Amino acid sequence: MSTVKPAKTYPDTIFKQKTPDEAQQLNSGPRFNTWYKGWFTRSEIYERMMPDGLTSALRIEGPDSGGAAIVMNSKGNIKLITGKSTDVAGSGTLDINTQGSNQLHNGRTNIQYNEGGTEGAGEALNILCYGDHVEQAMGSERHIKAKIIRIKATEELVIDGQNVRIQAQGDLQMSASSFTTAQVNKKDIVIGQNMKFGAGEDTDLQFDARASKVILSPGNVSHTIAGAYKIKSLRRMEVNAGTGLFMSTAATATLQGLAGLIVNGPGGMNLNAAKTTFKTADFDVTSAKTDFITADFDINSAKIDMTGTADVTIKGLNVRLKGTLIYLN
């Protein structure tokens, strides 16, 4: 309905009419019944009936310059309409000041917020709570969808759930000054590469005496260490290779057994060296057969005992026995 203001003064003379008066058929358009119309603000309360005779509404309009209104129609709807936002601060807003609020919506509720003006540019909804903010979805799901979602906690962020799943189609990045996890069992499934970069120290500490560490791989395991590499076992240690075992160093290699050292080769043992030195307090060789083939073989000892339970044969092109006393029995 037009809210054009009527004239305050009217001509007191009769003009000469040039065209006939126009007539309007009320049954072809809505009908209006004004209850109240203010003089100072031009506020108005009126009824509206559509041509179907069923659709109707009661409209309360505020000051004409503001454009705010309340509409209650025959469908049971209530519409709150504010005026347009202008350069005047706080214009066109819906302000509610209560001591509390209870709302019950028995059907779906759709709320749409649009971006505001220069103040808080880019923000469509801003909520400020001076207490706890609690949302609860009973037996259903809570969805948050946005291009970027930021959750910022000034003290602590807690995610508590029976099952927690974090799923990313691309990269999943986490950064912290300290990262601590506690769980009963842990499983990492990595299809591609698993790389640790920049760790100053990597320590595995296990307290249970039954604890074990197992590496199962159908491929290769390679360790490249720029510094010292130490392996220490307080119990038994085994190195078992199915096809071969090769140990090499550019410097000196040392095998040491404080209680004893056993080198066992059931299929045979070869010592290949430019020089071999045996230094021991007691040296025993027990063998079914022992052969020494060398260009020069020297035995230098304060005492030498050679005992043959059967025959002893010393054979050579020249055999020389030298000594202060030579006993032949």
From 90, 83, 99, 77, select the one nearest 117 (Cα to Cα).
90
Lowest mean pLDDT among 3-12, 36-45, 137-146, 158-167: 3-12
Q: What total of structural domains would you count in the chain?
A: 1
Query: Within a domain: residue 250?
Result: no
HSE of 228, CA atoms in CB hemisphere, 13 A: 3
How many other C-beta atoms are found inside a 10 Å radius of the C-beta of residue 308?
7
Each residue of 173-231: pLDDT tens digit?
988 888 888 888 889 898 888 888 887 788 888 888 888 888 888 889 998 888 898 98
pLDDT given for residue 200 in this prediction? 79
Check pLDDT > 70 for residue 118.
no
Largest CA distance in the chain: 177
Query: Within a domain: residue 66?
Result: yes
- The dihedral region occupied by 53, where left means phi > 0, alpha psi between -120 and 50, and beta the remainder, is left
Query: Within a domain: residue 154?
Result: no
- Say what the alpha-carbon torsion angle 120, 122, 125, 130 is, to the nearest 10 degrees: -40
Cβ-contact 45, 22 below 8 angstroms: no
Q: Domain containing 66: what range? A: 32-81
Query: Within a domain: residue 38?
Result: yes
Query: Within a domain: residue 262?
Result: no
**C-alpha–C-alpha distance, residues 36 and 39, integer Å:** 10
pLDDT given for residue 104 in this prediction? 93
pLDDT given for residue 233 in this prediction? 87
pLDDT given for residue 129 in this prediction? 93
**C-alpha–C-alpha distance, residues 91 and 69, integer Å:** 14
Check pLDDT > 90 for residue 153.
yes
Residue-level length of the chain: 329
pTM: 0.62
Query: Within a domain: residue 45?
Result: yes
Question: Which residue type sits at 76?
Answer: G
Phi, psi of 36 (to 5 degrees): -145, 145
Report, in angstroms and rounded to the nearest whole number, the Rg of the chain calculated over CA atoms.
Answer: 51
Query: Within a domain: residue 275?
Result: no
Query: Within a domain: residue 40?
Result: yes
Q: What is the mean pLDDT of residues 302-306?
A: 80
Give the burial class of 82: count Cβ atoms within 10 A of its Cβ; 0-12 exposed, 13-18 middle, 19 or more buried.
middle
**C-alpha–C-alpha distance, residues 213 and 204, integer Å:** 10
pLDDT given for residue 150 in this prediction? 93
pLDDT given for residue 26 in this prediction? 57
Lowest mean pLDDT among 70-74, 104-108, 213-217: 213-217
**C-alpha–C-alpha distance, residues 73 and 50, integer Å:** 11
